[in-house]
Structure 1
Amino acid sequence: MLFSFISKLKTKANRANLKDESFEFLFEEDRSGEYVVIDTETTGLDIKEDEILSIGAVKIKDNKILTSQTFEVFLKNSKEISSKSIKIHRIRPFDLKDAKTTEEGIVEFLNFVGSRPLVGYYLEFDVSMINKYTKKMLGITLPNRMIEVSEIYFDKSISLIPQGNIDLRFDTILKSCNIPNMGAHNAVNDAIMTAMIYLKLTKGSN
């Protein structure tokens, strides 16, 4: 009860900071019955210093992944992409020649997501990166409910291995859930694989 009250207060305060009324829809009650699984590719893991290179997302409804409704946007960045990060996300400067400005890309993302709940793997990082832009552009952070798949996996695993160390690496969770690795490491593929994990872990409970 107390947590719910505090959460409502935070949402109200967040909404009061909204600079553009055309984005009021982000705070409306979601009636779509859909979830949006998201993933970002970034220049690094420093939320303050690094930037988003791409955002991928896919919707889930009625325990089905709506692969016909995927979202992908590449964003222009102001810094040189390190060779180390290129090895991870395989996004080269050439791949960003037609990228959109961060403002354009974030607006497209917000319109795709709306007020739907967000699902992700280490979602807090992705949302924190996106919040860096929404805070500057709109004065707010994402108000969407967040669902972390690694937490669901941990909760299910700890009952089987109560005193063991739970391996929460993405590839380990994929293998444990008998989900094939799609290979190409990009935001959309990672979002789809995360969606598959989420459905496997929550089957029958949605």
Structure 2
Amino acid sequence: MREIVFDTETTGLSFSGGDRLVEIGCVELVNRVMTGRTFHAYLNPERPMPVEAFRIHGLSDVFLSDKPLFHERVEDLLDFIGDSPMVAHNANFDFGFINGELGRCGRPIVSLDRMVDTLVIARTRHPGAKHTLDALCSRYGIDLSARTLHGALLDAQLLAQVYVELTGGRQITMGLAVDAPVLRETPQEARTHVHVRPARHFAASDAELERHGNFLKAMEEPLWGTVSSG
């Protein structure tokens, strides 16, 4: 199964309030394994960068001034994501900005039926714990040394590793299980999968049992034939 894990950086918290997308990073997973295929773009928001947002991601007006507008990269983005489920942390936020930008340039929005929210999954798996990306990376032993500021592609790569751990761990990619997908929550929440290992039969044949019996008969004074008098 193909899935897209993604993250965005923006000028603020509200697209409807005038904030815009400035960076998007997407990572392709196939059967919960990163394939190495990514999509990444910096985008000119056509508005000044608030200092609060700059402190989070470090993307300045000067840096973004020569970057393409969203509508100039939208075809590349849509080609990459295709019709795959899309995984994000606090996904309503990221979907809000992507769909806001798509609507702004007259393109169909991404259906919320495709949304998988790792924040919802984390709250279910680890109630009462911290659920930030940093906290989840620390919980699962994922290296955070490269994350000095928020960056959409790096955060998507980290989230992809967290997502694998939240939904069964690395063992699900080892070919030891047969997938039996079960929708555990609503389409707007997380999709998880139950992996059922098929029964294996190792019963010995009649010929093998006969050879084993003959082997035991030929042994002199076996330990299991000793009777304790204690």
Report the TM-score range of the alignment, normalised by the length of the smaller protein.
0.7 to 0.9
User: Unpaired segments of 5 or more residues in structure 1?
Assistant: 1-32, 159-164
- Please, which of 154, 179, 193 is the counterpart of residue 123 of structure 2? 154
| Post-superposition CA distance 1:120-171 (Å, at most 9, x none) | 111111111111121233353202611111111111123xxxxxx3322221
User: Unpaired segments of 5 or more residues in structure 2?
Assistant: 173-192, 196-230
Percent identity over the alignment is: 25
Aligned-pair distance for 1:92?
Answer: 1.4
Please identify which structure carries the higher helix content: 1
Q: Partner amino acid for 1:124?
A: N
Task: Identify the residue that residue 25 of structure 1 maps to in structure 2.
Answer: none
Task: Identify the residue that residue 152 of structure 2 maps to in structure 1.
Answer: 187
1:60 aligns with 2:29: yes
CA distance in 2, matches of 1:34, 1:169: 25
1:43 aligns with 2:8: no
CA distance in 2, matches of 1:146, 1:127: 8
Task: Identify the residue that residue 132 of structure 2 maps to in structure 1.
Answer: 169
Contact 1:121 1:149 in 2 (8 A): yes
Contact 2:85 2:116 in 1 (8 A): yes
* Larger RCO (CA under 8 A, 6+ residues apart): 1
1:198 aligns with 2:163: yes
How many pairs does the alignment contain? 167
Contact 1:39 1:188 in 2 (8 A): yes
Distance 1:139 1:109, change over 3 A: closer
- Please, which of 90, 105, 112 is the counterpart of residue 80 of structure 2? 112
Task: Identify the residue that residue 134 of structure 1 maps to in structure 2.
Answer: 102
Task: Identify the residue that residue 80 of structure 1 maps to in structure 2.
Answer: 48
Structure 2 length-normalised TM: 0.68
Contact 1:74 1:105 in 2 (8 A): no
Aligned-pair distance for 1:41?
Answer: 0.5
Q: Partner amino acid for 1:183?
A: R
CA distance in 1, matches of 2:106, 2:72: 13
Aligned-pair distance for 1:75?
Answer: 1.1
Task: Identify the residue that residue 188 of structure 2 maps to in structure 1.
Answer: none
Contact 2:21 2:101 in 1 (8 A): no
Q: Partner amino acid for 2:132?
A: R
Structure 1 length-normalised TM: 0.75
Contact 1:57 1:70 in 2 (8 A): yes
Contact 1:43 1:50 in 2 (8 A): yes
CA distance in 2, matches of 1:106, 1:55: 11
Q: Partner amino acid for 2:140?
A: C
RMSD of aligned alpha carbons: 1.7
| Higher gyration radius (CA) | 2
CA distance in 2, matches of 1:116, 1:46: 25
Please state whether the residue corresponding to 1:119 is helix, strand or coil: strand
